[in-house]
Chains A and B, each alone.
Chain A
């Protein structure tokens, strides 16, 4: 199926590798773990200055064509940026912003693309209001509705896990319209902050909100092309899995580094604990899981969007990344001993990142169930 020059590999292209280097050094400078802890404590959604720098580097439009103000690269390149951000628990709205742009590219009207894509590339934050309280990991299982009235389109329902909602310029919402799943992009003018309630979520670095749609009336020009909507949902799901896998691979790398550092400094019985095989060997296991997950990720980065093969690749990548991070972070907690169970130990930041990543867009077991349907 993948013949000739387009054959994807489990390695990054030179361009992706270069981007990964730049992003890794940027994330190291701008997002020490103390910044993650400061973000948990602070009220502000994110550091606007760093976000502007990311926009200036062209990262916010990395997967947006040049015609629409982006860098004209793709999701594969977004992976190279998201992975190091995950490693440093950066928690920026980069993923939601990128995904919103993907939905527009797939199903936006010409007007929506011209208006919104450049805005996103320049630094406008995109938020995703796709999840619901009684919903599941199938993005089209929806309870929220849109109904045509004389004044426009009346919305009702509640959306959950809308990260960075209060600072977003644009919000992508999913609703049932005439019984069919539909997507709309609302701009800041259309939704007020009064509709948003902060949620306490497992990954405390996330600014997550519950958004009430009841009583909102919007114009139907906000809705994406109906004919392309099904394709957009599918693409959103796959792109979300890909970027979540990237973030979790980064998380696994980060927690392994954190733990290895501890094993090399902490002494017991007169020896560095890292010299004990019972601790040293599992760290190698963790590294091997990460390496396997990265291979899946980089392969998926090359084939995402390419039909069934692409979907298989992203689901494998997400399952592998989730399990790699879960194992590494769990061992990290164990190997830090009593300190590992404290709030001060950074291991918990990564364990929470992993739980969040697993709970969004399907955990490893769910991905495997989908894979069974796709492959068997």
Chain B
């Protein structure tokens, strides 16, 4: 399974994406609006439920199939960030939810009736240091009352449900820092009427990210996923899937830039010959291809480990680091060789350039990945 490249899926996704050309994405970018038509089309074609097991109405394919979908979306000039979380956020529910919860939600998520694509972890006072989150769920009878704040929560306005990580025991009262954290499935529509405020954050790209304020928001106790206090472990799997899928988006971005750069370099003539005949132009494009090819292999390997249920935290991290740097180098090269045209909106390059830059920061920054590799792979002392 690990070497499956999903040519049929790729071909079909390319066809679907052809209906959403650069002009479509530019329009949403300009208006800072959600690409709802694209998300709908992708959902209707079944790509967003690709990872959900067949018994719940999904396609039941391994993670590599989802990487193929996202890579093709990005290679076509589109952007999967508006909906990629619909693919993997359900993983927490699938792996750690009760039979009753799965039966209740998964089929509707698979049909697209319910959107579960918000993952509430990060807080203003706790970036990557997740165990320091302070949002607290206080048990009161058959419900929890949630208070606190989350930041950089993507698609919160376009999601019916959210996987929320919060504290049910204060860090100082927990046996270990990683304990006392719990996962709740929050109904966003209900919550919005009962104390949840969503505030969009405007960014340099069209990315529906928000800030959330919880003020005694009630969540039914039955929405607790798994055991209370064990939630930290439950979300780690989801994070690995997220990193691998985002890495595949970077691979798609990189291919977009390399396709565009090669085509332009071969056709554009200056001083009587194609600019691509200059080593100063063709070598960076070739280098971008080499780097991207290596990163793509790492993404494949991480996806295969994930699908096999093996530990893949380091591989997922390394894949994301390599892919985000490779796509960034390709982006910079592509922009540079296009000269002034690279900055013209109609070429889509400046938009993709802004979009791919995000992935050296989100969902985890390059430095934190290096720190993970240094401590967990190489056994060096923790640097912070």
Q: Which residues of A contact B (CB under 8 A)?
A: 276-278, 281
Contacts and interface: CB of A to CB of B under 8 A. Distances in A.
Contacts of A281: 279-280
Contacts of B19: none
10 contacts: A276-B279, A277-B278, A277-B279, A277-B280, A277-B283, A278-B279, A278-B280, A278-B283, A281-B279, A281-B280
Contacts of B278: 277
A277 B284 CA distance: 12
Interface of B: 278-280, 283
A276 B278 CA distance: 9
Contacts of B279: 276-278, 281
A277 B280 CA distance: 6
Nearest to B283: A278
A281 B281 CA distance: 11
A258 B221 CA distance: 76
Closest 8 CB pairs of A and B: A277-B279, A277-B280, A278-B279, A278-B283, A281-B280, A277-B278, A276-B279, A278-B280
Nearest to B281: A277
B284 to A, nearest CB: 10
Contacts of A277: 278-280, 283
B271 to A, nearest CB: 13
A276 B279 CA distance: 7
A323 B279 CA distance: 25
Contacts of B283: 277-278
Given A276-B279, A277-B278, A277-B279, 5 more contacts: A278-B279, A278-B280, A278-B283, A281-B279, A281-B280
Contacts of A276: 279
A277 B278 CA distance: 7
Contacts of A278: 279-280, 283
A233 B283 CA distance: 49
A186 to B, nearest CB: 43
Nearest to A281: B280
B273 to A, nearest CB: 13
Nearest to B278: A277
B274 to A, nearest CB: 14
A331 to B, nearest CB: 15
A281 B283 CA distance: 12
A273 to B, nearest CB: 11
B32 to A, nearest CB: 37
A205 to B, nearest CB: 35
Nearest to A275: B279
Name the residue among B278, B279, B283 with the largest chain A CB count within 10 angstroms: B279
Contacts of B280: 277-278, 281
A276 B280 CA distance: 9
A39 B280 CA distance: 41
B285 to A, nearest CB: 13
B352 to A, nearest CB: 26
